[in-house]
Amino acid sequence: MEFKADWEQAKQRLAAWWHGEVIGRLALHVTAPRKDPLPAAEPRRPDDLVRRWLDPDYRIGLAEQRFARTWYGGEAFPYFDTHIGPGSLALYLGCEPVFAEDTVWYQPCVAGLEGAVIGPDPENRWWLASKRLIEEGLRRGEGRYLTSLPDLIENLDIAASLRGTSTLLEDLVDRPRQVHRLQRQVQEAYFRCYDEMFAMVRGGDGGCCFSAFSVWAPGRMAKLQCDFSAMISPGMFEEFALPYLAEQCERLDYTVYHLDGVEAIKHLDLILSIPGLNALQWTPGANQPGLSDPRWLDIYRRARKAGKSLLLLGVDKKDAPRLVEELGPEGLLIGTSAGSQEEGEALLRAAEGWR
């Protein structure tokens, strides 16, 4: 790729990481300011906030500016992120967005569960906008960078967008059968959208990248999550989330679970029990110590004992060697940043000796 000359070698390490293996050194994702920035045009910024989210020229222009200024070391790689907020599937199922500069919120659109029928409309405005972003990203990025699948999200998190969080919590107690019916529809809608978009972004190598967490896989891959789980018991998680997550893992080739916040740790053993889950990504959340803090080692060791790879993005570079010493390089992918390209290159050389 234009912005990543060693992409073929990086893919080999990433493929090994998914299988809990290592090639030479751990998988290490390093970004830094490029020593010699490449030329990139300044995109014209639309005055309208919605257009800033939907205009392919603006979105891609910003991404290409970033690529031109960034050195992608190790397993880091440039990709155009096509999401329209975290949970784009909710838009395709009828929610209206509330745009902010850096995120999107979704207005509930399912007033009642009894008899509710949901599914993606092929003429839905937001679905068509997502496809335009993908199409233009693929056109302009060919041979230069990857174009990602959007951050669709699934399961109870989408159900909460459709119904509203408080309402869904009541539904779990008062209308559990209807919640399962809604979830089944969400699951099928997810794969209708995923399958069509994967067919668009699939590379000649059969792989793809997903917008969340900067990761690539040599097949059908997605990040899974259930942030809603912080508000429910392990018993409810086992009934209302686990079966659908397990089915997703069966229908995809590679999956990484996004465990977000200390309130979600209570579900860790259930999550790790999913046979088809390949990897775990941990985000401590606000007002918590960073990823290298010793208190999180138990999470990492439980994941490795369960045969899952680990994705740790946002590690301070000075803490990376200690994490490798504690956990071993096999199945470990660390993401970090350096102050300069020279510093990043030195970090990759040093990583050859981390054990």
CATH number at residue 258: 3.20.20.210
The letter for the amino acid at 305 is: K
Q: What is the pLDDT of residue 355?
A: 86
For residue 199, give its domain range.
7-351
The reply to whether 29 falls in a domain is yes
Nearest one of 205, 190, 193 to 77, comparing CA atoms:
205
pTM, full prediction: 0.96
On whether the CB atoms of residues 220 and 252 are closer than 8 A, the answer is yes
* Displacement of CA 154 from its chain's centroid (Å): 12
pLDDT at residue 212, rounded to an integer: 79
Q: pLDDT truncated to tens, each residue of the chain (355 aa)? A: 999 999 999 999 999 999 999 999 999 999 999 999 999 999 999 999 999 999 999 999 999 999 999 999 999 999 999 999 999 999 999 999 999 999 999 999 999 999 899 999 999 999 999 999 999 999 999 999 999 999 999 999 999 999 999 999 999 999 999 999 999 999 999 999 999 999 999 999 999 999 878 899 999 999 999 999 999 999 999 999 999 999 999 999 999 999 999 999 999 999 999 999 999 999 999 899 999 999 999 999 999 999 999 999 999 999 999 999 999 999 999 999 999 999 999 999 999 999 8
- Reported as type and span, the H/E element at residue 190 is helix 176-201
Structural domain includes residue 1: no
Rg (CA), the chain: 20
Q: Helices 242-251 and 155-163, interaxial angle, to 10°? A: 120
Report if residue 288 sits inside a domain.
yes
In a domain, 2, yes or no: no
- Going by C-alpha positions, the residue among 83, 200, 212, 88 that lies closest to residue 139 is 200
Structural domain count of the chain: 1
Q: What is the dihedral of CA 127, 132, 135, 137, to 10 degrees?
A: -110
Contact 68, 78 (CB under 8 A): no
First vs last C-alpha separation in the chain: 30
